[in-house]
Chains A and B, each alone.
Chain A
Amino acid sequence: MVTRTFLGIPATAPAGVGHLRGEESFPVAARRALGDAQLRRNLGHATTTIRAKSAGVIAEVPDWQALRAAGSAIKTDVLARLPELLEQLEARVTAAGGVVHWAADANEANAIVVDLVRATGSDRVIKVKSMVTQEIGLNEALEAAGIAPVETDLAELIVQLGEDRPSHILVPAIHRNRAEIREIFLRAMPGVDPGLTDEPVVLAAAARRFLRQTFLSTSVAVSGANFAVAQTGTLAVVESEGNGRMCLTLPQTLITVMGVEKVVPTWRDLEVFLQLLPRASTGERMNPYTSMWTGVTPGDGPQAFHLVLLDNGRSAVLADEVGRQALHCIRCSACLNVCPVYERTGGHAYGSVYPGPIGAVLSPQLTGVADNASLPYASSLCGACYDACPVKINIPELLVHLRDQVPHPRGESAAMAAAAYAMDHPALYAAAQRAARLSRLTGRRGRGLPPPLSGWTASRDLPEAPAETFRQWWAKR
């Protein structure tokens, strides 16, 4: 079955649903985050720790560069024949007793999931940590329908109970420390011991008690997927706590929402990603809990399985020959952990559930660049993300590509055009150089530069222009 998802001009992700758009531009949100000393400390500590751990285990693998190349090649192949692979996946999942649904966007996906949960009669679902359900705002849609979603990943639970938003792909509560987590649990966790301390072991035990009860009393689970193998119709979820596996095995009904780009052709391809992902992501040699399932198995695990294939702007990304490499992303978050911008601003400044370098190239493409126009500029183009990416997404190249599509401020456009014109006319260029020298007279103490150049002088002195330019010196030799 092929629906309108793959027909006509690809649509971007709709506004008014989900979490791909921020309310403020990046510089404005970043300014507030930079003023939060606690956040800066938490982030600095966490990213430095993960970075070192990941670098250590990557250095152990002699064929890491070959693995990266293989991961990139597999994703390129997948994107080149996505419709064919998705249809194969649908056929295999269906043959194995699952039901496949196609969702063009967040609204359709949310409606499908809400209807499926309603049909079970349950008023609560347990959730496996998933980026895609955050992307589409599924929790809000479920709550609006009177269904309570319970996040079971510890960090996602902290975020949910704190009525907060995730700030990191892998470590969504990276912006919280244990004292804050204790306060959140005391305030919002049903049945929590009022004598709760902020010892990590005590906090984890409190979460475990709460989640155990929830696991045993909830009949529907919702998950995302890290991979789907078209060859056999097998879904895979990769996680560290085992809470995901509880959700994937205990309930009667399992509903998986998956971005269409997550499909891989064969199990051999999965082998590459299961080597790349843990080392790049958590800095582990092997992933702790890798759950795989194919349709339904009578008498074992969920007896009803639904797979929701989500587009939500992905076809639009795919249509851009340069931009489509953002769909290679396996959500490892290595680029966040090495990014000097992310390390200082944290994830909320990006507005979208996809923060950091990959968010800066993925979110604007999913929504259309005009809706996330400041994100492609949220980078110094230092290139650390490209080196760290296990599937070789050239993020700096993509950032520059997207900057070219952003609607520019009129004043900036005029200045850039004027500069380009002068630089293509050497006499004008030399005149402009002389003007730069004169400007030191206008720029003395007390006579500040206008915005945006005042952004420079707020923290940095400008060099005094030299008495003569190089070309003047050269001409006199």
Chain B
Amino acid sequence: MRIALFVTCLADTMFPEAAKATVRLLERLGHEVVFPAGQTCCGQMHVNTGYQRDAVPLVRRHVRVFDPYDVIVAPSGSCVGSVRHQHAMVARRGGDERLAGRAESVAGRTYELSELLVDVLGVTDVGAFFPHRVTYHPTCHSLRLLRVGDRPVRLLRAVRGLDLIELPDADQCCGFGGTFAVKNADTSTAMLADKMRHVLSTGAEVCTAGDSSCLMHIGGGLSRMRAGVRTVHLAEVLASTAQGESATDHRGLVVRW
């Protein structure tokens, strides 16, 4: 199958390993991945911070760039959530009904990674090997906006060598919330503290999730406390194989104040 990668601006700029892993994984499963070059950002930050008008050109760009493709995948529940639940609304409020219609059409062809694998490609065993103790954090937007349900967990259970440990109070928000993490930094940090306590209680070496943004937040906190637990995107876990392609290439989180 020919699959267009919607990389997301965050993965493109800060977490390219998650995006590269998505490419490697899908190619290993025998699919063709294309990267539409005109893509930038879905505009979610603008919409969720109160700048819908600024987001209109970004929605228009996203729709124009991805409209030619039948299947679109992103390694992010949140960005897919924005495409599915916000793009048409932003276009409509911006007075562009035609764009709204096209946005709805693109949204209908856009999948979060675990949705693509399980629902479209029909696989739960992707042939991965990842010999680590792992706990999975279901991000709010994959859980409650996309309703990915147990798809990520089914994928993780099929990974050779992976010891999956249930995260207590998994459905509780980690406290990221986009600009919430900055505008309400104290509350965000209090939520993060509880999430980290639960992650540490599992004894896992790796905390995985379907969103680089939440992982940046959780990983940033774990790094600050020198917890020794890594955050690794779900795509990187699923792309890892016994042949050596693994999620071990990890830069440390070193920027601290």
A-B contact count, CB below 8 Å? 211
Q: Which of B12, B188, B216, B257 contacts A470 (CB 8 A)?
A: B12
Q: Which of A30, A404, A471 contacts B37 (CB 8 A)?
A: A471
Q: Mark A421-457, 1 if CB is under 8 A from B, else 0.
A: 0011010010001001000100111111100111111
Evaluate contact between A458 and B180: CB separation under 8 angstroms.
no
Q: Which of B51, B171, B217, B255 contacts A416 (CB 8 A)?
A: B51
Evaluate contact between A382 and B7: CB separation under 8 angstroms.
no
Q: Which residues of A contact B177 (CB under 8 A)?
A: 379-382
Cα–Cα, bound, A26→B179 (Å): 15
Answer whether residue A403 sits at the interface, using C-beta atoms and an 8 A cutoff: yes
Known: A344-B187, A444-B255, A462-B255. Contact between A382 and B16, CB under 8 A?
no
Answer whether residue B50 sits at the interface, using C-beta atoms and an 8 A cutoff: yes
Answer whether residue B15 sits at the interface, using C-beta atoms and an 8 A cutoff: yes
Known: A381-B48, A436-B14, A460-B217. Contact between A420 and B43, CB under 8 A?
yes
Of the listed stretches A122-130, A152-160, A383-391, name the one at the interface; the rest are far from the partner chain: A383-391
Cα–Cα, bound, A46→B153 (Å): 31
Known: A424-B40, A453-B182, A463-B15. Contact between A382 and B54, CB under 8 A?
no
Of the listed stretches B105-113, B127-135, B154-162, B189-197, name the one at the interface; the rest are far from the partner chain: B189-197
- B133 vs chain A, min Cβ distance (A): 23
Main DSSP-derived SS at the B contact region: helix
Q: Mark A384-409, 1 if CB is under 8 A from B, else 0.
A: 10110000000000001001111010
Q: Which residues of A contact B253 (CB under 8 A)?
A: 461-464
Answer whether residue B252 sits at the interface, using C-beta atoms and an 8 A cutoff: yes
Evaluate contact between A380 and B48: CB separation under 8 angstroms.
no
Known: A382-B140, A474-B35. Contact between A463 and B220, CB under 8 A?
yes
Answer whether residue A34 sits at the interface, using C-beta atoms and an 8 A cutoff: yes
Taking A380-B140, A424-B40, A426-B40 as given, write out 10 further A-B residue pairs in contact, using a Cβ cutoff of 8 Å, ordered by the A residue number.
Answer: A27-B183, A27-B184, A382-B173, A400-B48, A403-B48, A423-B41, A436-B14, A456-B182, A461-B220, A466-B251
20 A-B residue pairings within 8 Å (CB atoms): A340-B173, A341-B184, A377-B180, A383-B144, A400-B48, A400-B86, A404-B50, A417-B51, A417-B54, A423-B58, A445-B257, A452-B183, A455-B181, A456-B182, A460-B189, A461-B221, A463-B15, A463-B219, A469-B16, A473-B16
Give residues in B with beta carbon < 8 Å to A. 7, 9, 11-17, 19-20, 23, 35, 37-38, 40-41, 43, 45-52, 54-55, 57-58, 61, 86, 140-141, 143-145, 171-173, 175-192, 216-217, 219-221, 223-224, 251-257
